[in-house]
């Protein structure tokens, strides 16, 4: 299932790596696609959206459902 978030404070490749690691900590097989220009993160995972959102927020990013 694909879930999309807006992460307004994501600005660089380090942010991308941190968010990807946070998502994969709760869903190791997740596919994470990031567009820095639009601040969008699309995650294809079996984990529910609330779990993925919490993982990104726990990594100290301001994520909102898209």
pLDDT in tens, 17-33: 999 999 999 999 999 99
pLDDT band per the 50, 70, 90 thresholds, residue 50: very high
The residues, ordered by sequence, that sit 6+ positions from 24 with a Cβ below 8 Å of its Cβ are: 30, 32
Domain residues for 7?
2-65
pLDDT score recorded for residue 21: 98
Outline where the chain has alpha helix (H).
Answer: 13-26, 49-58
pLDDT score recorded for residue 58: 98
How many domains would you assign to the chain? Answer: 1
pLDDT score recorded for residue 52: 98
The residues, ordered by sequence, that sit 6+ positions from 36 with a Cβ below 8 Å of its Cβ are: 10, 11, 12, 13, 15, 16
Mean pLDDT value across the chain: 97
Give the CATH number, domain containing residue 44: 3.30.70.100
Query: Which DSSP letter does residue 6 get?
Result: E
């Amino acid at each position: 299932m694909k879930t999309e978030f807006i992460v307004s404070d994501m600005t660089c490749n380090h942010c991308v790596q941190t968010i990807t690691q946070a998502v994969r900590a709760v869903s190791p097989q997740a596919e994470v696609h990031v567009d820095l220009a639009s601040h969008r993160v699309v995650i294809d995972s079996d984990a529910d959206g609330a779990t993925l959102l919490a993982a990104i927020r726990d990594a100290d990013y301001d994520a909102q459902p898209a």
